[in-house]
């Protein structure tokens, strides 16, 4: 059985909808992508512990 050693949580925060309250704007998606990349890279930088 595999275990997730680290699972980052991203908050949408003040992300802007395109007006349908369902989809994010292009700018908001880019910001979420940056946050995801930063969180992912932090999980890869930590030494894995059993």
Considering its fold, how many domains does the chain have in total? 1
Domain presence at residue 39: yes
DSSP sequence for 5-17: S-------TTPPB
Which residues span the domain enclosing 49?
17-50
Confidence of residue 4 (pLDDT cuts 50, 70, 90): low
Domain presence at residue 27: yes
Domain presence at residue 4: no
Domain presence at residue 47: yes
Domain presence at residue 2: no
Domain presence at residue 10: no
Distance separating alpha carbons of residues 12 and 8, to the nearest angstrom: 13
Domain presence at residue 29: yes
Domain presence at residue 9: no
Report field, pTM of the whole predicted structure over 0.85: no
Across the range 15-25, mean pLDDT stands at 81
Condensed to tens digits (0 to 9), the pLDDT of residues 22-39 reads 888 888 889 889 988 888
Share above pLDDT 70 across residues of the chain, in percent, rounded to a whole number: 62
pLDDT of residue 5: 61
């Amino acid at each position: 059985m595999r275990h997730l050693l680290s699972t980052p949580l991203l908050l949408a925060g003040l992300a802007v909808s395109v007006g349908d309250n369902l989809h994010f704007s292009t700018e908001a998606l880019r910001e979420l992508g940056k946050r995801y990349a930063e969180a992912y890279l932090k999980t890869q930088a930590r030494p894995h512990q059993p």
